[in-house]
Amino acid sequence: MQWRVIEKQKDALETQGKSLEEAQLVRRAMLGDAPSLEKLIGFYYDAIHAFCCRRTGNASAGADACQETFLKMVQNLPHHETGHKKPMHI
């Protein structure tokens, strides 16, 4: 029973760490730091790409949709409000 509590705490800390790292990357990307933007995209690329391919049923259309998604993210980055506890929504 004790190990379950420890595992839950560990998972919460890992999630919090990812959220803090993500928030730092978002702030840097907002300032025009290309490596931070690249890393931020890297966090989500595989999941977004897989979703888009499944949703469209076509690898080429999925890749296009994925590209459009990240383009919208970059275009809306200046409007993102930092300080939220929730991760960035793409």
Tell me what the mean pLDDT of segment 4-17 comes to: 50
Tokens of 72: 């919208």
11-68 pLDDT, tens digit each: 544 555 567 788 888 889 988 999 999 999 998 999 999 999 999 999 999 999 999 9
The CA–CA distances, whole Å, from 29 to 20, 25, 68, 74, 85 equal 14, 6, 18, 9, 18
Q: Specify the pLDDT at position 16.
A: 54
What is the pLDDT at residue 1? 45
- What pLDDT was estimated at residue 13? 44
